[in-house]
Every structure is written in structure tokens, then in C-alpha cells.
Amino acid sequence: MSASANSGVGPVRRFSGRSKRVLPGFGLSLGISLFFVSLVLLLPLSGLVVETSGMGWDQFWFTITDSRVVESYKVTLWTALAASVFNGFFGLLLAWILVRYEFPGKRIVDAFVDLPFALPTAVAGITLATLFAQNGWYGQWLAKLGVEVAFTPLGIVVAMAFTSIPFVVRTVQPVLEELSPADEEAAVSLGASDGRVFRKVIFPSLWPALVTGVALSFTRSLGEFGAIIFIAGNTPYVSEVTSLMVFIRLQEYDYAAASAIASVVLLASLVLLFAINLWQGRYLRRLEGR
């Protein structure tokens, strides 16, 4: 065998220092990532901190506890909650039929689940508003039942549920796929009823993913804007969401107030995000036995 190990043909890379990375591109890729994260994410976030810290506690408190704003928190919270609970049920149902059953059009339904992610929120907004309007395809039937959706908080729930249902389906689906048929077969062969097997065997392995999906759906709903404003009617104290409050303050050129309200929403979302990440990390560790 010829050729030499290190007789010095071509550039010979020698390490300096202790860190010896085998794969190339550590400096470059991390450099790009950090530069980007700092410039695109962290710098603007710090701008918000600067703006709010400049306004003084009293004024800050006054702004975020203004009664119209407080009403908007309430509306946002309960509609987001309602929407994510709805999505918990129907997201699970959709995931279940997509994993467990074969039926014509399954691939199409599977593809359509992602529609809310792909469809611009403004388009979703005007579409839902049109559907649920008094003379719309859904609105006219609902009106006969005495249910009003468009221009009421119920419209907010509809918009939120629409935009965030994929979160539940896409988090639950892979877990359902991984469930071992043997556990269920064992339970069924021992004579357990389906309901019992679902509660005792399936649900325990499913619920961490379901909670994650519902929490993601909730977080997304808290911040939703585009789809909501067209259908909500935006009546002060009744159907204004907090994102809209921020937007209104911005239109009034009251940047300080907008920042104060935004910082409340942002804090809530970030806490939720970190909680979800921690939670996911923990249950994944448990499932993988790490």
C-alpha cells in the first residue's frame, strides 16, 4: 500500500487549542445562527424591554389594567381555551381516524389538515366571516337555530379553532402511530371492554402528546390576529382580543401603551412556550427511557 499518512502533501490542518471538532463548519454555522438569532430575534425583543422599562411602573400598571384591556384579556383567554378544548377533541378524533382506519379520500383529508397552516390568516378571516355571516352558507342555518357566530365572541372561537387545529392533529398522530398493537390485543383478549382499554392502555400513553398539542393550539390562539378581526366584530368590552388592543394602540400612535400590553401577552406566550418545551423534554425522556 502506498500513499503516506501525513507526509505533508496538500494543506495539513493542525488544531490549535483544545476544541477539536471533527465535522467541518462549526464556526461558520454557529456564527450564522447566532448572528441571525441576535439580529432577528433578540435585538427586537430587547427593544420592547427598553420601551416598557422607560415608562414607569404606575403608567405601565395603569395601561395594562385599563378596563377595556382587561376585558380583552378575558375574552382572549376564554375563547382560546374554548378553541383549544374543541381542538383537543376533534384533533384527537381526526388523528385517530387518520392512523387507525382506511377509507377513501384518507390522503386528501390528511393533506387538508395542514390547510390552516398554509392558508394566509387574512384569507381564513374573510372566508370564515363570509361563511358565518347572516346570509352566509353556515350563517343562515345557524340563524334559524338562533345561534349567532359572526361579530360575536363565538366567531373568535371559530377563527382560533380553525387556525390552530393542525397543532393537535400533528402532535398526536405520530404517538398514535407508535402505539404497540400488542398491548391492546393483550388487553382486548383478556376481555376488557373497548372503553376500558382506551382509558387504561391507550390514553395513558397518549395524553402527554395531547396536552402538548392543546397547549400549542392555545398559545397560537392567544396571539391570533388576522383570522379573528374579520369575524369578531371587534366590539369594545365584548369581542376585542388582546392582539387587536395592541394594534389599536399602535394606530393611535401610543407606542408605550402598545408595548405595555404587548409585553403582557409576550410574557404569557414565552412562559407557555418554555413550559411546553420542558414538558415535552420530560415526557419524551420518560417514553424513551433516557
* Cell numbers placing 94: 381526526
CA distance 183 to 197: 9
| C-alpha cell read off for 195 | 372503553
Contact 227, 124 (CB under 8 A): yes
User: Is position 204 an interface residue for other proteins (rule: CB under 8 A)?
Assistant: no
Long-range contacts of residues 95-98, Cβ cutoff 8 Å, at least 24 apart: 95/168, 95/169, 95/172, 95/173, 95/176, 96/176, 98/169, 98/173
Amino acid occupying residue 24: P
Binding to other proteins (CB under 8 A) within 231-250 occurs at 243-244, 246-247, 250
Q: Tell me if 190 contacts other proteins by CB under 8 A.
A: no
Of 70, 114, 140, 286, the residue at the interface with other proteins (CB under 8 A) is 114
Among 85, 90, 207, 279, binds other proteins (CB under 8 A): 90
> In the window 50-69, what residues touch other proteins (CB under 8 A)?
50-51
Number of chain positions touching other proteins (CB under 8 A): 109
Among 170, 184, 205, 211, binds other proteins (CB under 8 A): 184
Nearest residue to 61 via CA among 52, 50, 49, 51: 52
- Applying CB under 8 A, among 66, 71, 96, 238 the residue interacting with other proteins is 96
Cβ closer to other proteins: 59 or 269? Answer: 269
Q: Which of residues 126-165 bind other proteins (CB under 8 A)?
A: 126-128, 130-131, 137-138, 161-162, 165
Cell of 172: 398526536
Interface with other proteins, residue 212, by CB under 8 A = no
